[in-house]
Amino acid sequence: MNDIVRKGLDERLPALKEAQTAAVRPTRGWLRAVREAIGAKQGPIAKRMGVQRQSYARLETTEARGSISLSTLQKAADAMDCEVVYYLVPRPKVARTYAELARRHDPKFKHLQASEHSMALEDQAVGDLKPKP
């Protein structure tokens, strides 16, 4: 089952990586950027969320710091007729695919890396393991 899920994620990976650059959070956060882009004030957005304007202002600050919860971000996005889209991709220095990332997180892989290193010292390495980043 894990292999099926991994394969599905790996098939999506090129599109996710392409979107990754465009998805970088604006300096002052998505909430503020979108709110300003649509020409809305904090008060009306807060009212749609059912909170006070000051509470909404704190949400913008919290989101800009990167400490807002996904559920709260979704409520604020809903109030602006937006959707929250997020995803995780492997760090390029660690793995190129989710399958490779899974292999790197496999406890047996660390043992294989150690064996490969020892074999390399004796000029007998197979050479099919990526070196540690």
**CATH number of the structural domain spanning residue 39:** 1.10.260.40
Separation CA 117–CA 111 (nearest Å): 10
Same domain assignment for residues 43 and 93: no
Neighbour count for residue 30 (Cβ, 10 Å): 20
pLDDT digits (tens, 9 = 90+) for 107-129: 765 655 566 656 666 676 555 55
Map residue 53 onto helix, strand or coil: helix
Read off the pLDDT band of 102 (50, 70, 90): confident
Domain carrying residue 100:
1-23+89-133
Claim: this prediction has a pTM higher than 0.75: no
